[in-house]
Amino acid sequence: MPFHQKGDVRIRYRETGAGFPLLINPGDGLNSTTANLGNGASFNPMEKFRSECRCSTADLRNAKFP
């Protein structure tokens, strides 16, 4: 899984599909992982919208915010 790093901040992200960009925010506090989007949810937005949009999501559990 690719990473984006700026200074001390390193965020793991996932992309799928092509077209208009769609940012998907995996909520749920400490379970805000890219893997949790398909587990326990009514649908997986990464799979649902991949044919229409370029879907991006990030694993924000351990991100350091300034």
Per-residue pLDDT at 45: 85
User: In the numeric block, which tokens belong to residue 1?
Assistant: 């899984």
Tens digit of each residue's pLDDT (9 = 90 or more) over 31-41 = 677 777 777 66
Q: Answer whether 26's CB lies under 8 Å from 36's CB.
A: yes
pTM above 0.75, yes or no: no
Q: Is the C-alpha dihedral spanning 65, 49, 52, 54 positive or negative?
A: positive
